Structure 1
């Protein structure tokens, strides 16, 4: 399998801001692969987030996660840390190479590429295009990218502030909206929109003087702004790929979704795309995937992309309305965030992706099926569920006294016997659960009869892990 990625330049009105925010679910993803500690060490922890720059911020402190905060970390450093982790696992990464096309057969894909030493070809079982909104892989595969062009231009600058505002500062008036986000190392990002943001014409590159003028006009202060390192405008061009998979070609990240960077979720959703796809490719290449597993990638992630588009458009509308009616709508919703805990939590869980679930068509399935498993604690251990997840195997949790389900380990399946320590209410009656490599629940059972529970586990393994059909463990069930 070969993947192509990179930061793709886009048309000016469609350009998007380079990511800064790492959301709680993404930290969980990193933790499930043992890669989170460097990010925690370097990122600035912010105990909440915003929806459309509303005055009242979302509070992440009560979310069901060991990481109830966002991390502010420049994307360039995020990429460096991910690269270090990948190299440590034996991956090969090359820079300065570009895919120019490919030819697909029933058995493989031959990719044509160009590098510093000229053109060459690579043959692979699958190709994954992570090559941005102008994805050559997507275009060559003939996958549509429908959507709408940019009608709004936001602006941002990365600067030093001699008199920075309070953490989490934002301001929104009829003159516009502005947010200030901290970087590691004492730098800050200023992001904003203004009435003149509603345009489909490129006004020219952003200047330091314009950034200062807009910030003062909205916030009443420039916070001692100096030493700019980056200035940019970014648009709300919004598109979603028609297919996440076509044959042996798959797409992830900006190659499948483009949107206004409201809430800082874009990179996070891209990483979560890869988290969903990676184990399915591994299972397929290693021979333990059931038929049709790769097809579930589109089925599961395309709706997430559609929700991302919906949220981004909704926030864009709220952030770019400066009429009295628009300001009243913002005030109403902000008040609900502050006074309606259920509403605020629902927005927080959707923004952070903690609410992402992959519904099952089985009406008899346990309600936990498809949901994200929390970092469950086990009696007598100092680590949670995330540390037990395997990138190349399901995890069967045998929660019966004494582990009555027996040894069912096989390729694509690991087993953990134990007792949950103070589990959430929804997990308190479970006697067994099958957790996918990406941390979502594939199956859960609370059957009290040991023989019936064992039989149900056997059927589940046979349907989920190709090697489980006729295996010793399944036969015993």
Structure 2
């Protein structure tokens, strides 16, 4: 029996598997598809944006360099100058409802606790690149992957969960559904999945235009919808506000795609060929809770929404890094009471906010006689320093704050990448998937207290280049600040460590390096 069985071998399932294996769990992935490659995962169809928060997560597991290489991204555009003493101004900001915003208008002074590091900005990648890097990482940590095995039945009891896939039964102490928006696990276990119906059918296609000059590049909002042309030859996206009625209901013929494009663009553009096409909607749904007994959900299995703003992959990676260490601690019997329930408590509000962000963009794009006035008003507001800064905070993935209690505003936020004077960074100290206690003042009492969590907390002491006014911090395995103080309050540290890591107990599983060379 495995400690954890994961249904779904996409980026979320693979990242979660790596997190669990890094903590010494035995993990099995059941993946529906037999082939890792697919035209829908490669560019341009599989094009995705990793935000700064996801880049930071990959950095903390030693995967950023591999991701940049696989994605063909420029590390100079993603990270700060290695010798920089201050964080650079944000270089990019997501669009809103197809309306571009200028990152130069962001008020950097309104973005607290930023320090320079290797992961300061997001970058474009593909599902193929992400899956390749994460598959190598998971395999290096001993994760077992069975392909061509869609889950068809799930039963659970007090001792574990049985998932039937590929005609065989697979037993695990826990099961996590990472099997996408049409999750079989979610349906089989009976999770409530609620939300709003679609307003549009979206299309993505690779086509040949008789005269591509009729359609300008970029997002193009029109009185009847939206179309998108990118720099990839023949790459076309469209949103047709038909109430989502066409999606998956009929074949995606050249004639249909041409008719939709002519109606939306207001041109007589001709498509001479369609190589590949797919459709989707803006249906926005979310599981009311992410756990039922020994079964949990993550990624699109827990929440779906339109791809506007490119938040889906990032939201799923956030789920995985939040859940992984909590589930591992539960498997090993070191978790404090209620730790696993904090997964839903912390991630459900983040998911709900992303769904609302998606809905707001769809509402702004929806055609109608008042649409141009609404879009102009929204663009005017979002183009102000306060507006564009708000968009950056919502989409960068760096400023989601969990309510962990305490008055210190850094608690619950992703930790800045503190750099010790001898060169080590916090992100590097997190690569083993353990908590980190930063002690900038080398307090002996604090060090002694940390020894009670040997194997679960990495103690790091010494002066840093910029301590932001803090003396000591406790960082959870997912990089979230659990405790921060301007003096080494040993008792406060003990309370925070006990709350998140359980009672002191020596435990040091044998794990891999977590690095992809």
TM range (shorter): 0.7 to 0.9
Q: Deviations over 1:404-463 (max 9, x none)?
A: 62242413111111223135xxxx22111100111111111113xx5xx12322333233
Correspondence 1:30 to 2:58: yes
Shift of 1:111: 2.3
Alignment of 1:128-207 (within 5 A): 128-158=176-206, 169-182=218-231, 189-194=235-240, 196-202=241-247, 204-207=250-253
Q: 1:351 pairs with 395, 403, 412, which one?
A: 395
- Matches of 1:59 and 1:79 in 2, distance apart? 33
Q: Is 1:437 the equivalent of 2:477?
A: yes
Q: 1:302 to 1:164 in 2, by over 3 A?
A: farther
TM-score, scaled to structure 1: 0.82
SS across alignment from 2:147: coil
CA shift at 1:18, angstroms?
5.3
1:41 alignment partner in structure 2: 69
How far residue 27 of structure 1 moved from its aligned partner, in angstroms, is 1.4
| Matched residue, 2:28 | none
**1:327 — aligned with what?**
372
Note if contact 1:178-1:192 (Cα within 8 Å) is conserved in structure 2: yes
For 2:425, the equivalent position in structure 1 comes to 384
Match of 2:6 in 1: 3
Alpha-carbon distance in structure 1 between the residues aligned to 2:470 and 2:431: 21
Q: 2:25 matched to which residue of 1?
A: none
Aligned counterparts of 1:108 and 1:214: Cα–Cα separation in 2? 50
For the structure 1 residues 402 and 369, does the alpha-carbon distance in structure 2 shift closer, same or farther, using more than 3 Å as the test?
closer
CA, structure 1 residues 59+38, in 2 after alignment: closer, same or farther (shift >3 Å)?
A: farther
* d(CA) in 1 for partners of 2:361, 2:427: 32
Of residues 491, 497, 501, the one that matches 1:455 is 491
Q: Is the 8 A contact 1:395 1:437 kept in 2?
A: yes
CA contact (8 A) 1:405 1:454 kept: yes
**Structure 2 CA distance for aligned equivalents of residues 243 and 464 of structure 1:** 21
Distance 1:356 1:228, change over 3 A: farther
Q: Which residue of 248, 257, 274 maps to 2:320? A: 274
Shift of 1:144: 0.8
Asked if residue 283 in structure 1 is aligned to residue 329 in structure 2, the reply is: yes
Matches within 5 A, 1:390-429: 390-401=431-442, 405-407=446-448, 408-409=450-451, 410-423=454-467, 428-429=468-469
Alpha-carbon distance in 2 for matches of 1:145, 1:439:
29
The separation in 2 between residues aligned to 1:222 and 1:26, in whole angstroms, is 41
| Alpha-carbon offset, residue 280 of structure 1 | 0.8
Tell me the equivalent position of 1:52: 97
Query: Cα 1:214–1:284, aligned 2, differ >3 Å: closer, same or farther?
Result: same
Following superposition, the deviation at residue 197 of structure 1 comes to 4.0
For residue 120 of structure 1, the aligned residue among 151, 164, 168 is: 168
Q: Is the 8 A contact 2:101 2:388 kept in 1?
A: no
Q: TM-score, normalised by structure 2?
A: 0.76
Checking the alignment, whether the CA contact within 8 Å between 1:283 and 1:392 is kept in structure 2 is no
- Tell me if the contact between 1:156 and 1:211 (Cα under 8 Å) persists in the aligned partners: no
Whether contact under 8 Å (1:143, 1:241) holds in the other structure is yes
The residue correspondences of 1:102-113 to structure 2 (distance < 5 A) are 102-113=154-165
Q: Aligned residue for 2:504?
A: 468
Residues 7-26 of structure 1, C-alpha deviations (whole Å, 9 max, x = no match): 789xxxxx998562222211
Structure 2 spans left out of the alignment, 5+ residues = 11-31, 34-39, 78-91, 508-517
Runs (5+) with no aligned partner, structure 1: 10-14, 472-477
Superposed CA RMSD? 3.5
| Mapped contact 2:62–2:431 kept (Cα < 8 A) | no
Any idea what SS the aligned residue of 1:268 has?
helix
Go from structure 1 to structure 2 and tell me whether the alpha carbon gap of 1:106 and 1:315 turns closer, same or farther (over 3 Å shift): same
**CA 1:330–1:286 in 2, change beyond 3 Å: closer, same or farther?**
same
Deviation of 1:28 after TM superposition, in Å, equals 1.2
CA distance, structure 1, for counterparts of residue 427 and residue 158 of structure 2: 37
| Other-structure match for 1:240 | 286
Matched residue count:
445
What is the deviation of 1:235? Answer: 0.7
Alpha-carbon offset, residue 129 of structure 1: 0.6
Distance 1:21 1:213, change over 3 A: farther
User: In 2, distance between residues paired with 1:224 and 1:411?
Assistant: 64
CA distance in structure 2 between the aligned counterparts of 1:169 and 1:222, rounded to whole angstroms: 19
Bigger mean CA offset, 129-138 vs 455-464: 455-464
2:37 corresponds in structure 1 to: none
1:374 alignment partner in structure 2: 416
Checking the alignment, whether the CA contact within 8 Å between 2:105 and 2:385 is kept in structure 1 is: no
